[in-house]
Amino acid sequence: MSVSDSAPLSESSSTLPTEGRRRVQVDAVAPEVDGGRFPVRREVGERLVVEASVFADGHDRVAAVLLHRPTGHRSWTETLMEPLGNDRWRADFSLDGLGRMEYTVLGWVDAFRTWAADLAQWIGAGVDVSLQLEEGARLVEAAVDRAEGDDAAQLEGWVERLRAWSTEPGLADDPSPLATDAGPLSGTLPSLMARYPDRSLSSRYDRILEVAVDRERARFSAWYEFFPRSTAGEAGGHGTFRDAQRMLPYIREMGFDVVYLPPIHPVGRVRRKGPNNRVDSAPGDPGSPWAIGAAEGGHTAIHPELGSLRDFLEFREEAETQGLEVALDVAFQCAPDHPWVKAHPEWFRHRPDGSIRHAENPPKKYEDIFPLDFESEDWPGLWKALHGVFTFWMDQGVRIFRVDNPHTKALPFWEWVIEELKEKDPGVILLSEAFTRPAMMYRLAKLGFTQSYTYFAWRNTRRELVEYMEELTTTEVREYFRPNFWPNTPDILTEALQVGGRPAFMARLVLAATLSSNYGIYGPAFELMEHRPREPGSEEYLDSEKYQFRQWELDRADSLHPFIARVNRIRRENPALQRNDTLHFHPLDNEKLLAWSKQDREGENRMVMVVNLDPHHTQSGWLELDHLVLGMDPEESYQVHDLLAGGRYLWEPGRNFVQLDPRISPAHIFRVTRRLRTEGDFEYY
């Protein structure tokens, strides 16, 4: 049936509404972001669960359907909503394709169910229901016109039966025979009538909401960032894509699925930075890859020393063969010798002396970088050029971009360009590298970024981690913001990693990888536990790869490579860790220990993590697991299996003891299963 003629619920106006009999109210539809201004975000294969308050005046029963359709389609698909009590209704629909879908809620007074419920009461009270039976006959008679095929005939039969009962003298004295299986309340009539409701006076929620559906990797991904130019090995000098290709098995073995490369474009020569961000460079210094553009080209060119476009494509193909997707860095800024500076001076801000204004944050100056001017008169030209950068690389098969500092570019541009890119490939993924204030970080996600960097790197204590995770997973933020947790980046060597040694690297990895379904590391610095800052108090790496080549001893005996591989394998094998929406923290009587659980959508895969936040001392305590959260019987004992260290424990209802020596393992990653009945039930990992 068509519902397009359903007017909004009610109208404020000094004249009568066109139709005043739409008695049902639809209120508080969830999820909804900013009153429907932005879509909620989900992934293919998930179901969108929608709730609404649906009610009418009086004691009449109401019914409701969830309406949904791909955005742009005219006709709605309907899913009947189930009552949850207290006027709240719920339904869901599956997100089978990429792109956007619309949804809203429609409700109406269900005259037949109201009649049936009343009739049951009257029969129970033993009163004469002959008039009620005739009223029922009329309701069914009206439904005959709406019914199709055989149903119409069946309904006609019911009309006759109801009329016959209504005049049957014996029933007037004792209506109880009507309550039997053959009666109007429990036979085929209710289901028949449910198929043909009278929805002429239905009310629709006054807004149409949207869900943006991304591919699964938007929710579940493990990123590995490295500098291809540092892969020359013992030969030294500038590594190439061919050298970098040799890294791929090493990365694959660790279990990552996204390989993210810092900018691969020609590096500016003008005012090039030297090692450790020195103002001037010596011949042979490679400069910062984020100083993009030189005579050889700009954002769509390949740095000649890395190789050719063909070399890049080979690298990308080889990565894909190994199950790794390549993500490129998009940094919209230019070195002074970027071709755009000459070709499009109007895209930059000029100073009174005619020079182009370089980046600055007074009193700091960044002379090797020219920012783009989003207030340029030719902003349309600039937008199209930037759009062209994305599409160029998409045409080379790249579908994931890490966007550098999006919060320093005009936000209307992002909303426009992301929409455009999704038109081209709805599977495109953009990671927002904004480390700034919350309103901006969240707004970028609302405007379309698929994933976002976070404050995780600076959340170390239990209270900090719990508060932050609850903000991300229990507030409206969860509907649109997908966190991607990085324990380190080329810009961020946290104090925790500088001083905490191996246990800190292990703990921070487990936290990132199991608190958040999206995470990443900057390697090989991470697995080789690089921890020397440029100077005390700095978060910059000493001898940072941002400004020089590094040679990494990948096969070092103490490398975290096997540990990371194990964590990533646990993530892949346990769907509970592939989502954040079931995250729950559990009480533990030692502030240095953090305990939380996650489970998959079906509640079949249940994981409990415990991390020792103190890298220096063994910590122990009593964990009170909330069985109900995990959908388990609170009276039953159960088996927990530490997939990280290998131990198995039988846990009793109530409190259980945990202890973690950081020198051995700073974390447990438990899979929780029902108590084994015999030794044969043991599951082996």
Distance CA(467)–CA(473), nearest Å, equals 10
Catalytic (active site) residue 433: yes
Which residues fall within 8 angstroms of residue 13, CB to CB, at 6 or more apart? none
Cβ neighbours, 10 Å, residue 613: 26
Residue 392 DSSP class: H
Nearer to its own copies, 29 or 302 (CB): 29
**Residue 476 DSSP SS3:** helix
Instruction: Tell me the C-alpha distance between 57 and 156, whole Å.
Output: 31
Cβ proximity of 9 and 104 under 8 Å: no
Residue 185 burial class via C-beta count within 10 angstroms: exposed 0-12, middle 13-18, buried 19 and up: middle
Binding residue (CB under 8 A) for its own copies from 90, 146, 207, 215: 207
Comparison of 34 and 317: residue with beta carbon closer to its own copies: 34
- Contact positions with its own copies (CB under 8 A) in 90-149: 117-118, 121-122, 124-125, 127, 131, 134-135, 138
Residues 396-425 that bind its own copies (CB under 8 A): 407-413, 415-416, 419-420, 423
Token pair 């960044």 in the structure block, residue: 366
Site for its own copies in 147-206 (CB under 8 A): 201, 206
Q: Which is nearer to its own copies, 360 or 573 (CB)?
A: 360
Distance in Å, CB of 133 to its own copies, minimum: 9
- Report the candidate in 388, 361, 358 with the shortest Cα–Cα distance to residue 373: 358
Nearer to its own copies, 112 or 374 (CB): 374
Stretch that binds its own copies, among 5-13, 599-607, 620-628, 634-642 (CB under 8 A): 5-13
* Residues across the chain: 685
Q: Site size for its own copies, by CB under 8 A?
A: 74
Q: Quickly list DSSP for 108-158.
A: EE-HHHHHHHHHHHHHHHT---HHHHHHHHHHHHHHHHH--THHHHHHHHH
Region binding its own copies by CB under 8 A among candidate stretches 55-63, 250-258, 301-309, 455-463: 55-63
Sign of CA pseudo-dihedral 489, 493, 497, 502: positive
In this structure, are strands 221-225 and 518-522 parallel, antiparallel, or unpaired? parallel
- Given the rule CB under 8 A, which of 50-58, 270-278, 319-327, 530-538 is the region that contacts its own copies? 50-58
Determine if 440 is a binding residue for its own copies (CB under 8 A). Answer: yes
In degrees, rounded to 5, the angle at the alpha carbon of residue 317 between the alpha carbons of residues 311 and 323 is: 140
- Separation of alpha carbons 552 and 444, rounded Å: 35
Residue 2 within binding range of its own copies, rule CB under 8 A: no
**Binding string, 347-386, against its own copies, x = CB under 8 A?**
----xxx------xxxx-------x--xx---xx--x---
For position 458 contacting its own copies by CB under 8 A, the verdict is no
* Candidate list 110, 225, 243, 433, residue with the active-site label: 433
User: Which range, of 83-91, 219-227, 300-308, 610-618, touches its own copies by CB under 8 A?
Assistant: 83-91
557-586 residues in contact with its own copies (CB under 8 A) are: none
Residue from 1, 28, 295, 645 in contact with its own copies (CB under 8 A): 28
How many other CB atoms are there within 10 angstroms of residue 247's CB atom?
Answer: 23
Which of these is catalytic: 32, 225, 404, 545? 404
Nearest distance in Å: CB 295, its own copies: 28
Minimum distance from CB of 105 to its own copies (Å)?
A: 13
CB of 393 to its own copies, least distance (A): 20
- Write out the catalytic residue numbers: 404, 433
